Homo-oligomer: A and B are copies of this chain.
């Protein structure tokens, strides 16, 4: 049969990985795809860099957009990255040229995904993006196809391996954030500029994509509440352990009568939850279907091999003739859902205060919580040091984010309270 001709834009780790995978398993892929899958054209910044892959005989484009117009390219693989610029220009050009787009670009999909879907439909092509979320775990396929018979009420997960690695090592080795981060950078688990990972933006991109698919909704990326892990301290991790939790950076998308809520933040996950024990660089996604029940997927969320595996799975789908709407349904059928503001969130909270160990402090704090209708499940104090700073931990029953925010603003003004209180939301059991 006629081979599927692939053009790849971006020959970094993932791009080179895709080329290596296609070469290493050419026969297996041809058997599964029903025809050979071959790279015919590439684009990258530097033609002469050694990437461990052969570029002889391939059409070369200094400008990636050239791939869209190459008649020797059936499908364009965009591995440039970023929501704007070259990546977006290539995506638009490929679609306009009637070519299906395979991409690992979570930022592009999270920010421009609906507009791109509309363009893709108009041109009778699709966009495949398994590699954009959770690397080697086929989570897009599971959600868009496997769970297609379900109303999905919740998608939650550990979506950033860098953060999960850092939190895991901090817990296991009792080390500081900065120290573990430096290690992670040396090991290649964290980028030289790790902001997108550590500040939760990468997880938020992935969450927005999962939410769009799960709920069949138009997601405005700017409506995702985002917090990262930089302020998680060793003391919080130790308290979590003591209380039966693990601290994880979670992305959580929920759909209720009130609307859709989207948030990325550190959370206390009860040890009984399967997601609590997913450690190291692993990712996990939990999706709740009304008929299927909870489905959890766990695997490697990044790296050359896993990401290449996802890109090539999309290519095999395309070669097999699988064509699923970008967001699992027609763009015109996507809902405009109300977004529930963070202030309306219902949750239990872990609050940690650093206070001067003197009589009356606790009475002042608990009085403020009571005034805001917040009741406590437990309270922990570590150590005694009259006149000095001691940590106090308060675990609340379920209450609203608005009440907790207002209470903490007042608590922060008490003279005996030395630092801004730490707040970590607690996942239900």
User: Which residues from chain A sit less than 8 Å from chain B, CB to CB?
Assistant: 17, 21, 25, 28-29, 31-34, 130, 135-138, 141-142, 145-151, 216, 274, 277-278, 289-300, 303, 305-306, 308-310, 312-313, 315-317, 320-325, 328-330, 333
Contacts and interface: CB of A to CB of B under 8 A. Distances in A.
Contact of A21 (B31, B291, B316): B291
Contacts of A296: 296-299
Contacts of A141: 138, 141-142, 145-146
A147 B313 contact: yes
B305 A299 contact: no
Nearest to A37: B149
Contacts of A316: 145, 148-149
Contacts of A135: 292
B291 A34 contact: no
A312 B317 CA distance: 20
A334 to B, nearest CB: 9
B138 A147 contact: yes
Contacts of A138: 141-142, 145-147, 295
Nearest to A216: B31
Contacts of A291: 17, 21, 136, 305-306, 308-309, 312
A32 B145 CA distance: 9
A254 to B, nearest CB: 18
B313 A293 contact: no
Contacts of A278: 274
Contact of A299 (B145, B292, B324): B292
Contact of A325 (B34, B145, B216): B34
A73 to B, nearest CB: 20
A120 to B, nearest CB: 14
- Total copies of the chain: 2
A313 B141 CA distance: 11
10 contacts: A17-B291, A137-B295, A145-B317, A146-B313, A149-B313, A149-B315, A292-B305, A293-B305, A296-B297, A297-B297
Nearest to A138: B146
Contacts of A289: 136, 309
Contacts of A145: 138, 141, 313, 316-317, 322
Q: Which of A33, A130, A322 has the most CB of B within 10 A?
A: A322
Q: Which of A136, A149, A292, A299 has the most CB of B within 10 A?
A: A149
Nearest to A287: B299
A149 B292 contact: no
A299 B306 contact: no
Given A142-B142, A146-B313, 17 more contacts: A25-B151, A29-B149, A31-B330, A130-B146, A138-B295, A141-B145, A145-B317, A145-B322, A148-B312, A274-B278, A289-B309, A291-B305, A292-B299, A292-B310, A293-B306, A297-B297, A320-B323
Given A136-B291, A136-B295, A312-B149, A321 B323 contact: yes
A141 B138 CA distance: 9
Contacts of A299: 292-296
A28 to B, nearest CB: 6
B32 A309 contact: no
A306 B292 CA distance: 4
Q: Which of A135, A147, A216 has the most CB of B within 10 A?
A: A147
A309 B297 CA distance: 17
A274 B278 CA distance: 8
A263 to B, nearest CB: 24
A159 to B, nearest CB: 16
A34 to B, nearest CB: 7
B293 A150 contact: no
A322 B291 CA distance: 22
Given A34-B325, A324-B322, A292 B300 contact: yes
A308 to B, nearest CB: 6
Contacts of A310: 292
Contacts of A34: 325, 329-330
